[in-house]
Amino acid sequence: MNRFAKILGMAALSCTASLTFAQPTTAGSMMMSKPDIQGVTAAANGFYAALNQMFTGDLTAMKNVWSHADDVTYMGPGGGVQRGWPAVQAEFQKQADKKLGGKVNGEEMQFTVGSDIAVLTDYERGQNTNADGKPSTVSLRATSTFRLENGAWKMIGHHTDTLPYLKQ
């Protein structure tokens, strides 16, 4: 074996030896610590309460449920991708300014919870006002990601199907 191959082999062995893996249990949680399913569920419910408050034009609660980090991502029903809290907040402000009214809830929620990251897949169902000012049914698939930050679960990602009347 030449010297370069030996170095690569040792580097690969070194990297492999430093990795540790948590073994999932049959429930899909990590054995490292007991998953905080209640905390993540509360964070998800807080997001939907904030979303419905945003439909009235008020962003206060939405600002509280989201992480304000540079790595957050939003891909909502209007299309596009916003990265970083300033861009995500600006997009939510545009939506709040529309005052869509109505109410949307998370349904058929399925959580995968680790020690500091959690993922929610669900359906967002309800009703808003469309571009013509008429009530319109909302039924979207959604994926939300949460991170434990300073003892609180904060949203760091949200991705939904698009709605034709909101698409940019």
Full pLDDT tens readout for the chain, 168 residues: 444 344 334 333 333 222 222 333 444 444 456 789 999 999 999 999 999 999 999 999 999 999 999 999 999 998 999 999 999 999 999 999 999 899 999 999 999 999 999 999 999 999 998 778 889 999 999 999 999 999 999 999 999 999 877 765
Structural domain boundaries in the chain = 34-160
Residue 123 to residue 75: CA distance in whole angstroms: 15
Pair of tokens at residue 39: 């905390």
**Sheet of 103-113: strands edge to edge?**
82-83, 73-75, 152-160, 135-149, 117-129, 103-113
CATH 3.40.980.10 fits 34-160, yes or no: no
